A and B are shown apart, each in its own frame.
Chain A
Amino acid sequence: MSIANLIVLVIQGMLIQNVILTLFLGICPFMGVSKKSQSAIGMGLAVIFVMVLSSTITFAINDLILEPRELGYLQTIVFILVISGVVQFVEMFVKKTAPYIYKMLGIYLPLITTNCAILGLALIIVKPELEYGYAEMLAYTIGTALGFTLVIYIFSTIRERLENANVPKAFKGAPIALITAGIMSIIFIGFAGLV
């Protein structure tokens, strides 16, 4: 596989098949952690870190153990356990070695355990019809994680501006945020013909 194809996969994961606005996964942190841009960046960084690590491990487990033994029906439970375990070890490692990063990501790391975007991606990349190898899987995962961070950051900056905007009382808060998310989703569907 050429580098051009890998770049296409990154763009595909980031814009065309954006995990939040096109696949509608990870809506909970998208709505919950997007009130401030600082917290959105923190969540985005934590997701990039865990998504790349857990997807690599789950892909390897599926490739080396589950698929050859025809144990594909165990994918969901195995992937959930891997993600939960990886989050625990990453949190411990960051606590011990990089207090500065822990300060930045600390609270967002445990929240990732319940982020369905991570599990969703782990299940998507092992689909047999995609026939992804390790390089393609990594490119698509990095693109997806970057897409998650990009969208949550853009959404948080819009919400910060909406706080001071002259919004009708009935639409203040969650309603206008949902309308904004809907418009953003329509915009991202427009990327479908990009590649």
Chain B
Amino acid sequence: MDTSSIIIMTLVVFGLVGFYAIGLYFNKKTPLPEECELPSLKCEHCTSVTCSYSEKNRVSIIKKDIKESLKNNKSREGALNE
């Protein structure tokens, strides 16, 4: 195998990994369209447990949100009492 083939091979693989990473980043940044129903409502057909849309993962995210809002509320109450 010559050097140029190795360089092209590396460029192709890393280029495509970069292509995927950029796509993933911009896709995550793009907000969901308005009036779009929660995707998890359609998850009844899917058995994936690792998908970010799955009910279990969504529950953990909601729990995190609740904990954060409770913390914020406590700190606000503390500030008001003072």
Q: Residues on A close to B: CB < 8 A?
A: 32-33, 35-36, 39, 61, 65-66, 69-71, 74, 77-78, 81-82, 84-89, 91-92, 95-96, 99, 102-103, 106-107, 110-111
Contact = CB atoms under 8 A, between A and B. Distances in A.
Contacts of B44: 35
B36 A99 contact: yes
Interface in B10-37: 12-13, 16-17, 19-20, 23-24, 26-27, 30-37
B23 A74 contact: no
B80 interface: no
A81 B17 contact: yes
Contacts of A81: 13, 16-17, 19-20
A106 B16 contact: no
A81 B20 CA distance: 7
Interface of B: 4-5, 8-9, 12-13, 16-17, 19-20, 23-24, 26-27, 30-37, 39, 42-48, 51, 53
A39 B36 CA distance: 16
Contacts of A82: 16, 19
29 contacts: A32-B46, A33-B46, A39-B45, A61-B12, A65-B8, A65-B12, A71-B5, A71-B8, A78-B12, A78-B16, A81-B16, A82-B19, A88-B23, A88-B26, A92-B26, A92-B27, A92-B30, A95-B30, A95-B33, A96-B30, A99-B34, A102-B36, A103-B36, A106-B36, A107-B39, A107-B43, A107-B46, A110-B53, A111-B48
